[in-house]
């Protein structure tokens, strides 16, 4: 399988290089000055023009490459394309196509990714079901036979396989501590529920707010807060020490490779702790027997973006608050809300529930039982309501407002003036106060703190 990864890595990099070479050799180098137009005729490159490489044209080259060994120019090693299943090599061509489509065209939302890069590590092999034969299934083991791979592939199962499944494909991944297999199965017992089939109501829905404050991770509209794990924050000192020791070693040495493997395992431990925490939080929320969950539609890429630079009239850089925001960016990356929302949607769908993203505008500023903007500053974490004689938590109120947005009960606010145009707060004030009053922290503070 290491040989398969090496062939796939070379095939991936060769296709990317072929597309870049076509672009460099089949375009004009004429630079248009400002205020002028491009000339109709331009000089052609000296080399013979050829068609643009595509997914199909590059995939058709595989039969020729399988006839003989391929020589790698920079290392002189010989690669045999015939040892790898044909579907796996075709999947490599598909990955190249997707990388360039995201770079040139963008995704369905129009957002484009960066320029495709050459891979110095190729980790995952995709093998279709046509090349797989199931030999035996035991309690904790799964035996597969893959074409062009001698012997059986013995896989340890982390959970029992469903009854009556059909195998679609498998992904074999090499990680820091060994090989892992991900199986894509068609399970007829999993319910297929459409988002339109479930009608949300106040009793069967829940609002979830991303907190990211101190040791809190999430807050829901039932008045509960879920803790965070902060896996990177807890291990960043150990990780920095390993990285510093590795950088002092000579490149290519055995000591450097040993420390690099140790560093990779530490990163793997951090990622696994974060993923395990996401699954536990998702299961705890699904076990509340709610059918609709409203979460924030966050622009996570924008939240982790660096601040714009500021310059004075002489061109000198001015303070822009990036040094203070760098710690917040690290916290957003460590929380990994994007991964959590994907896992939460997957777990909820298996349980017959739905996760819907809503617009979080003004939800953290407005008190849910009254049309007042009291949380105007992020430093205000709680507010004393003199009328109801309770403390209102900022995160709990935001989660309740997200629920109101999903149920279309949130006030209509003029974005220019910030004034409330249309309000339906009175229709949900009784239910909101019932949630806020049963929180123990609503009465736990002393009279001096209230003042």
Using one digit for the tens of pLDDT, what is the confidence trace for 344-385? Answer: 999 998 888 999 999 999 999 999 998 888 888 888 889 888
DSSP 398: H
Task: Specify whether the CB–CB gap between 207 and 403 falls below 8 A.
Answer: yes
- State the CB neighbour count (10 A cutoff) for residue 370: 17
365: Cβ contacts below 8 Å, ≥ 6 apart: 373, 374, 375, 376
For the ranges 119-133, 276-290, 350-364, 430-444, the lowest mean pLDDT is seen at 430-444
User: Across the chain, what does the average pLDDT equal?
Assistant: 87
399: Cβ contacts below 8 Å, ≥ 6 apart: 207, 208, 209, 219, 220, 221
Closest to 208 (Cα-Cα) out of 337, 54, 73, 116: 337
State the DSSP string of 68-92: SPEEPTTT--EE-GGGS-HHHHHHH
Query: What tens digit of pLDDT does each residue of 98-118 get?
Result: 999 888 887 777 777 888 999
Three-state DSSP state, 148: coil
Any long-range contacts for 213-216 (C-beta under 8 Å, 24+ apart)?
213/381, 213/395, 216/395
Whether 39 shows a pLDDT value over 70: the answer reads no
Task: Give residue 51's pLDDT.
Answer: 82
φ, ψ of residue 411 to 5 degrees: the values are -60, 150
φ, ψ of residue 163 to 5 degrees: the values are -75, 140
Average pLDDT value for residue range 46-67: 85
Average pLDDT value for residue range 191-216: 85
Structure tokens at 125: 């092999």
44: Cβ contacts below 8 Å, ≥ 6 apart: none
Task: Give residue 397's pLDDT.
Answer: 93
Query: What tens digit of pLDDT does each residue of 155-194 get?
Result: 999 888 888 888 999 999 999 989 999 999 888 776 676 6
DSSP 323: H
Average pLDDT value for residue range 271-286: 95
Query: What tens digit of pLDDT does each residue of 331-343 get?
Result: 999 999 999 999 9
For the ranges 207-211, 232-236, 239-243, 306-310, the lowest mean pLDDT is seen at 306-310
Task: Give residue 40's pLDDT.
Answer: 55
Q: How far apart are CA 30 and CA 39, in angstroms?
A: 9
Tokens 């109120």 label which residue? Answer: 397
Task: Give residue 31's pLDDT.
Answer: 46
Looking at per-residue confidence, does 448 or 391 come out higher? 391
Average pLDDT value for residue range 269-281: 95
- Under the banding of pLDDT at 50, 70 and 90, the label for residue 212 is confident
Three-state DSSP state, 260: helix
Q: How far apart are CA 218 and CA 195, in angstroms?
A: 23
Q: Indicate yes or no: pTM above 0.85.
A: no
Q: How far apart are CA 451 and CA 448, in angstroms?
A: 5
State the DSSP string of 188-235: TTS----TTTS---SSSEEEEEEEEETTEEEEETTS-EEE---HHHHH
Three-state DSSP state, 111: coil
Task: Give residue 29's pLDDT.
Answer: 47
H-assigned helices in 37-154: 55-59, 62-67, 86-104
Q: How far apart are CA 418 and CA 414, in angstroms?
A: 5
Bridge partners, 137 (sequence order): 142
- Under the banding of pLDDT at 50, 70 and 90, the label for residue 30 is very low
Residue 333, CB-side half-sphere exposure with 13 Å CA sphere: 11
Average pLDDT value for residue range 20-28: 78
Closest to 339 (Cα-Cα) out of 387, 270, 392: 270
């Amino acid at each position: 399988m290491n040989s398969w990864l090496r062939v796939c890595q070379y095939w991936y990099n060769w296709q990317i290089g072929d597309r870049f070479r076509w672009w460099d050799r089949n375009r004009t180098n004429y630079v248009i000055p400002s205020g002028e137009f491009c000339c109709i005729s331009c000089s052609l490159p000296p080399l013979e023009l050829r068609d643009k490489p595509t997914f199909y044209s590059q995939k058709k080259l595989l039969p020729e490459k399988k006839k003989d060994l391929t020589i790698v120019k920079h290392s002189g090693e010989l690669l045999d394309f015939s040892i790898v299943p044909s579907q796996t090599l075709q999947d490599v061509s598909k990955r190249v196509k997707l990388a360039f489509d995201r770079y040139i065209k963008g995704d369905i939302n129009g957002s484009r990714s960066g320029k495709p890069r050459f891979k110095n590590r190729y980790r995952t092999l995709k093998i279709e079901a046509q090349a797989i034969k199931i030999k035996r299934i035991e309690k904790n083991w799964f035996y597969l036979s893959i074409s062009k791979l001698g012997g059986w592939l013995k896989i340890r199962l982390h959970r029992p396989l469903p009854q009556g499944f059909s195998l679609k494909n498998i992904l074999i991944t090499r990680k820091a501590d060994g090989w892992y297999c991900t199986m894509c199965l068609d399970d007829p017992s999993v319910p297929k529920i459409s988002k339109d089939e479930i009608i949300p109501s106040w009793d069967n829905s829940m609002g979830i707010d991303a907190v990211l404050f101190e040791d809190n991770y999430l807050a829901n509209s039932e008045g509960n807060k879920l803790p965070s794990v902060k896996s990177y924050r807890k291990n960043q000192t150990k990780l920095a020490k390993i990285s510093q020791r590795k950088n002092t070693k000579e490149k290519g040495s055995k000591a450097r490779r040993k420390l690099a493997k140790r560093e990779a395992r530490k990163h793997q431990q951090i990622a696994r702790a974060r993923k395990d925490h996401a699954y536990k939080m998702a299961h705890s929320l699904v076990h509340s027997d709610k059918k609709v969950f409203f979460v924030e539609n966050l622009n996570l890429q924008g939240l982790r973006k660096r601040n714009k630079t500021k310059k004075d009239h002489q061109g000198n850089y001015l303070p822009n608050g990036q040094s203070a925001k760098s710690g917040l960016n690290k916290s957003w990356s460590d929380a990994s809300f994007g991964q959590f929302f994907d896992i939460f949607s997957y777990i909820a769908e298996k349980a017959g529930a739905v996760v819907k993203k809503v617009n979080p505008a003004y939800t953290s500023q407005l008190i849910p039982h009254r049309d007042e903007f009291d949380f105007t500053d992020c430093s205000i974490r709680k507010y004393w309501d003199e009328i109801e004689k309770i403390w209102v938590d900022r995160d709990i109120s935001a989660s309740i407002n997200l629920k109101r947005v999903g149920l279309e009960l949130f006030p209509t606010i003029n974005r220019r003036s910030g004034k409330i145009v249309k309000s339906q707060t009175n229709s949900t004030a009784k239910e909101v106060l019932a949630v806020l009053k049963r929180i123990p922290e609503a009465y736990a503070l002393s009279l001096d703190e209230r003042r």
